[in-house]
C-alpha cells in the first residue's frame, strides 16, 4: 500500500507497531538552492515537478519526528538504511541517537556525476546510515535477529582477478555504485540507482518481508522490493510524484527481478560452526591418514578434506590433532 500523505502523519495512521522488516529511505536534504539534479539529470524536462523540500530551519525537528515513527513501525531486529548528504547529516545522526536503534555501519556511497566545483573538492558521495532495532529474546517473529544474508551475493570462495575475496569486497563499507543515466525517461530528482537498492534489500531482507520507504519519490525502493518478491509500502507527500508513480508501480511484476540476480556458488565452508559427529570425526581422521600416506603435505591434505566436508582449515586441524576416533 502506498499513501499520498506526509510520512509522519501516514505512519501514525496506517502502520502498526513492529509491522515492517526493513526501511530504506532517502529524506529530502533540506538544502537551500540544491542544484544537484541540474548536473545529474541534465534534461530538466524529464524531472518531475513537485519535489517537496523541508526548510533547513525545520530539519532537526522534522528528522526527530519521522525517525521516531520509523523506530516504532520497525520490528525488533528490523533494519533501516537512511541515505543522507553531509549538510544535515548531524541532525539525522542526533535523531537516531534519541532512539533505541543501534548503529551497524556508516556506509559511504560514492557515485558518479558529482557537482563540478573549481575551487574546492568535488562532492561525490552520500552517507548511508545502517541501523537495527534491537531484537527481543523469546518473542517469536517480533524478536527475530536482524536479517543479514552474508552469502546472498558472493560465496566465501569467490575470488577477484587479483585473488581478493569478492564477498569481502562486496561487504566493505564504501560502495562505488554509479547513478543511472536514463535519457528520455521521467524521473524524480535524486533517484536512487537500482544496484544500490538491490544490494540493501538482498542483504537485509528475505522474500515475503515488508520493505517501507518514508519518502518514496519515484517509488524506486518499492519497485525493486516488489521485483525481488518483497512486500512494499510507503509515503510520498507530493501529489505530482505520487499520481505519476502509482500508475508505474502497478506494472511491476512481483519477483520479476529474481531471475536477474546472480546465484553464488555454494560456500566451500558450508559446515563451518556446525557440531561434528563422531562418525564425521572418524572419517576425517581416516581420510587424513590416507592422504598423508599418498605423500600429500598436511596443508594439501586438509585443503582436500575441506572440499569434501565443508569445514575450515583450523577446525580440521583441531580434529586431526585430537584424533578422538
Ligand X SMILES: C[S@@+](CC[C@H](N)C(=O)[O-])C[C@H]1O[C@@H](n2cnc3c(N)ncnc32)[C@H](O)[C@@H]1O
CA distances from 216 to 129, 221, 270 (A): 18, 7, 38
Point out which span in 97-105, 119-127, 156-164, 229-237 binds ligand X (CB under 6 A): 229-237
What percent helix, strand, coil does the chain show, rounded to 5? Answer: 40, 20, 45
CB of 216 to ligand X, least distance (A): 6
From the list 23, 70, 92, 192, which residue makes contact with ligand X (rule: CB under 6 A)? Answer: 192
From candidates 190, 204, 205, 315, binder to ligand X by CB under 6 A: 190
The dihedral through the CA atoms of 301, 306, 309, 313 has a sign that is: positive
Measured from the CB atom, is 22 or 291 closer to ligand X? 22
- Residue 324: strand, helix, or coil: coil
Q: Closest residue (Cβ) to ligand X?
A: 217
Residue with cell 526527530: 64
- With CB under 6 A as the contact rule, the residue among 217, 233, 268, 319 that binds ligand X is 217
Q: By CB under 6 A, is residue 236 in contact with ligand X?
A: yes
- Picking from 121, 94, 151, 107, the residue whose alpha carbon sits closest to that of residue 265 is 151
Residue 23: CB minimum distance to ligand X, A? 12
Closest separation between CB of residue 187 and ligand X, Å?
7
Q: Which of 47, 191, 306, 311 binds ligand X (CB under 6 A)?
A: 191
**Residue recorded with cell 523506530:** 71
Cell of 297: 603435505
Single out the residue of 63, 205, 220, 315 in contact with ligand X (rule: CB under 6 A). 220
Nearer to ligand X, 188 or 204 (CB): 188
Choose the binding region for ligand X from 34-42, 155-163, 231-239, 250-258 (rule: CB under 6 A).
Answer: 231-239
Q: What CA dihedral angle connects 238, 182, 198 and 233, to 10 degrees? A: 20
Contact pattern from residue 42 through residue 61 relative to ligand X, giving x for each residue in contact according to CB under 6 A and a dash for the rest: ---------xx-x-------
DSSP state letter for 68: H
Residue from 79, 88, 152, 188 in contact with ligand X (CB under 6 A): 188
Count of positions (residues) in the chain: 325
- For residue 129, state whether it binds ligand X (rule: CB under 6 A): no
**Closest separation in Å from C-beta 85 to ligand X:** 9
Chain Cα centroid distance, residue 262: 16
Count the Cβ atoms, other than its own, within 10 Å of residue 169: 13
Non-local (6+) Cβ contacts of 105 within 8 A are 130, 173
Task: Tell me how far, at minimum, the Cβ of 217 lies from ligand X, in Å.
Answer: 3
What own/partner pairs with CB < 8 Å and gap ≥ 24 does 135-141 have?
135/76, 135/77, 136/76, 136/77, 139/76, 141/75
Told to check if 316 binds ligand X by CB under 6 A, we report no
Select from 85-93, 215-223, 270-278, 295-303 the region that touches ligand X (CB under 6 A): 215-223
Binding residues for ligand X restricted to 240-299, rule: CB under 6 A: 241
Name the residues that contact ligand X, by CB under 6 A: 6-7, 26, 28, 51-52, 54, 188, 190-192, 215, 217-218, 220, 235-238, 241
Amino acid at each position: 500500500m502506498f499513501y499520498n500523505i506526509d510520512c509522519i502523519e501516514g505512519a501514525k495512521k496506517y502502520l502498526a507497531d513492529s509491522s515492517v522488516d526493513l526501511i530504506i529511505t532517502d529524506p529530502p536534504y533540506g538544502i537551500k538552492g540544491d542544484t544537484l539534479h541540474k548536473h545529474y539529470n541534465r534534461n530538466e524536462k524529464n524531472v518531475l515537478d513537485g519535489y517537496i523540500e523541508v526548510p533547513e530551519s525545520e530539519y532537526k525537528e522534522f528528522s526527530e519526528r519521522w525517525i521516531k515513527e520509523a523506530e516504532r513501525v520497525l520490528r525488533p531486529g528490523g533494519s533501516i538504511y537512511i541515505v543522507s548528504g553531509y549538510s544535515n547529516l548531524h541532525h539525522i545522526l542526533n535523531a537516531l541517537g534519541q532512539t533505541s536503534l543501534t548503529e551497524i555501519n556508516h556506509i559511504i556511497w560514492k557515485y558518479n556525476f558529482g557537482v563540478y566545483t573549481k575551487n574546492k573538492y568535488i562532492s561525490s558521495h552520500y552517507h548511508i546510515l545502517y541501523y537495527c532495532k534491537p531484537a527481543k529474546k523469546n518473542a517469536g517473529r517480533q524478536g527475530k535477529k536482524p536479517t543479514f544474508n552474508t552469502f546472498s551475493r558472493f560465496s566465501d570462495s569467490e575470488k577477484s582477478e587479483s585473488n581478493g575475496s569478492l564477498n569481502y569486497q562486496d561487504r566493505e563499507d564504501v560502495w562505488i555504485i554509479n547513478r543511472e543515466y536514463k535519457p528520455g525517461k521521467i524521473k524524480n530528482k535524486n533517484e536512487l540507482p537500482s544496484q544500490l537498492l538491490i544490494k540493501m534489500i538482498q542483504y537485509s531482507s528475505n522474500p515475503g518481508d515488508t520493505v517501507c520507504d518514508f519518502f518514496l519519490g519515484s517509488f524506486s525502493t518499492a519497485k525493486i522490493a516488489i521485483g525481488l518478491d518483497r512486500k512494499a509500502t510507503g509515503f510520498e507527500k507530493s501529489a505530482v510524484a505520487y499520481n505519476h508513480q502509482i500508475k508505474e508501480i502497478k506494472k511491476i511484476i512481483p519477483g520479476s527481478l529474481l531471475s536477474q540476480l546472480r546465484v553464488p556458488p555454494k560456500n566451500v565452508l558450508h559446515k563451518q560452526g556446525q557440531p561434528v559427529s563422531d562418525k564425521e570425526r572418524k572419517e576425517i581422521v581416516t581420510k587424513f591418514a590416507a592422504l598423508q600416506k599418498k605423500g600429500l603435505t598436511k596443508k594439501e591434505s586438509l585443503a582436500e578434506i575441506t572440499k569434501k566436508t565443508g569445514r575450515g582449515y583450523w577446525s580440521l586441524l583441531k580434529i586431526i590433532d585430537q584424533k578422538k576416533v
